[in-house]
Amino acid sequence: MQSQNTSLWKPAIQSGLIAGGVAVLLSLVGMVATFNQRFIISGVFSMGQVIFLAPMLLMSYFFLRKTMALSSQKIVLYGLLIGVMGGLVLVLLVLLGTNFNLQAMFINSSSKLYDILTFNQPLAPGLMILLALSAVMGVLASGSFLIPPRISAAVIQGITWVLLVGLLRDLIITVTSRWGPLAGPVKSLFAVSGLKPLGAIFLFALISGLYYWRNGKPVSPAQKPTQTKDRSLLFWAKWAGLIILLLLLPPILGIFFSDILDTVFMYILMGIGLNIVVGFAGLLDLGYVAFFAIGAYTMGVLTSPELNADPMTYWQALPFAMIACVVAGLILGLPVLKMRGDYLAIVTLGFGEIVRLLALSDWLRPWFGGSQGIQLIAQPVIGNMVLNTQQELYYLFLLGVGIVAFIAWRLRDSRMGRTWMAIREDEDVAIAMGINHVAYKLMAFATGALFSGIAGTIFAAKLQSVYPHSMNFLVSINVLCLIIIGGMGSIPGVFVGSLVLMGSPELLREFAEYRYLVYGALLVVMMLTRPEGLWPDARRKLELHEEELEAEAHVLAEAETSAMKSAK
CB count within 10 Å of CB 9 equals 13
pLDDT digits (tens, 9 = 90+) for 296-330: 999 999 999 888 778 899 999 999 999 999 999 99
Partnered with residue 382 across adjacent β-strands are 385
CA–CA separation, 535 vs 512, rounded Å?
Answer: 29
The C-alpha angle 401, 404, 407, rounded to 5 degrees, equals 145
- SS3 label, residue 58: helix
Per-residue pLDDT, 140: 92
- Full DSSP string of 157-219: HHHHHHHHHHHTHHHHHHHHTTSGGGHHHHHTTB-SSSB-HHHHHHHHHHHHHHHHHHH-S--
Q: What is the dihedral angle through the alpha carbons of 104, 107, 108, 113, rounded to the nearest 10 degrees?
A: 30
CA–CA separation, 430 vs 58, rounded Å?
Answer: 44
466 pLDDT band, cuts 50/70/90, is: very high
Partnered with residue 168 across adjacent β-strands are none
Over range 416-440, report the average pLDDT: 89
CA–CA separation, 535 vs 484, rounded Å?
Answer: 10
pLDDT digits (tens, 9 = 90+) for 96-129: 999 888 888 888 888 899 999 999 899 999 999 9
Per-residue pLDDT, 221: 46
pLDDT digits (tens, 9 = 90+) for 481-502: 889 888 888 899 999 989 988 8
Reduce the secondary structure of 316-363 to three states and give it as a string. Answer: HHHHHHHHHHHHHHHHHHCCCCCCCHHHHHHHHHHHHHHHHHHHHCCC
pLDDT digits (tens, 9 = 90+) for 517-526: 777 777 777 7
CA–CA separation, 147 vs 139, rounded Å?
Answer: 13
CA–CA separation, 565 vs 213, rounded Å?
Answer: 39
Residue 528 has pLDDT above 80, yes or no: no
Pairs from 409-413 (Cβ < 8 Å, separation ≥ 24): 409/491, 411/276, 411/280, 411/447, 412/280, 412/491
Residue 44 has pLDDT above 90, yes or no: no
Per-residue pLDDT, 24: 94
Per-residue pLDDT, 1: 43
pLDDT digits (tens, 9 = 90+) for 153-185: 899 899 999 998 988 888 788 778 777 777 888
The C-alpha angle 369, 375, 376, rounded to 5 degrees, equals 140
Q: Of 183, 99, 408, 193, which is closest to residue 279 (Cα–Cα)?
A: 408
CB count within 10 Å of CB 112 equals 12
CA–CA separation, 49 vs 136, rounded Å?
Answer: 14
Positive or negative, the CA dihedral 89, 90, 95, 97 is positive
Per-residue pLDDT, 540: 67
- SS3 label, residue 534: coil
Going through 170-286 in order, the beta strands assigned E by DSSP cover none
564 pLDDT band, cuts 50/70/90, is: low
CA–CA separation, 419 vs 430, rounded Å?
Answer: 8
The C-alpha angle 160, 166, 172, rounded to 5 degrees, equals 110
Exposure of 481 by Cβ count < 10 A (0-12 exposed, 13-18 middle, 19+ buried)? middle
Q: Of 262, 263, 271, 265, which is closest to residue 289 (Cα–Cα)?
A: 271
Rounded percentage of the chain residues whose pLDDT exceeds 70: 89
User: 159 with 78: CB under 8 angstroms?
Assistant: no
CA–CA separation, 205 vs 195, rounded Å?
Answer: 14
Rounded percentage of the chain residues whose pLDDT exceeds 90: 40
**The total number of residues written for the chain in this structure:** 568
Per-residue pLDDT, 228: 44
Positive or negative, the CA dihedral 387, 498, 170, 514 is negative
Per-residue pLDDT, 2: 43
Angle, helices 390-412/437-463, rounded to nearest 10 degrees: 170
Per-residue pLDDT, 521: 75
64 residue type, one letter: L
Distances, alpha carbon 479 to alpha carbons 187, 318, 429, in Å: 37, 23, 29
CA–CA separation, 56 vs 80, rounded Å?
Answer: 10
Q: Which comes out higher in pLDDT, residue 70 or 405?
A: 405
Q: What is the dihedral angle through the alpha carbons of 285, 290, 294, 300, rounded to the nearest 10 degrees?
A: 140
- SS3 label, residue 385: strand
Q: Which comes out higher in pLDDT, residue 559 or 1?
A: 559
User: 119 with 44: CB under 8 angstroms?
Assistant: no
pLDDT digits (tens, 9 = 90+) for 215-259: 775 544 444 444 444 457 777 788 888 889 888 888 888 888 888
Partnered with residue 466 across adjacent β-strands are 374
Query: What φ, ψ does residue 386 adopt, rounded to 5°?
Result: -95, 125
Q: What is the mean pLDDT of the chain?
A: 85
Per-residue pLDDT, 502: 86
CA–CA separation, 196 vs 182, rounded Å?
Answer: 18
Q: Of 86, 178, 175, 94, which is closest to residue 134 (Cα–Cα)?
A: 86
Q: Of 258, 260, 162, which is closest to residue 208 (Cα–Cα)?
A: 162
Query: What φ, ψ does residue 388 adopt, rounded to 5°?
Result: -130, 10
Per-residue pLDDT, 388: 83
User: 558 with 509: CB under 8 angstroms?
Assistant: no
User: 520 with 31: CB under 8 angstroms?
Assistant: no
Longest dimension (CA), the chain: 93
Residue 337 has pLDDT above 80, yes or no: yes
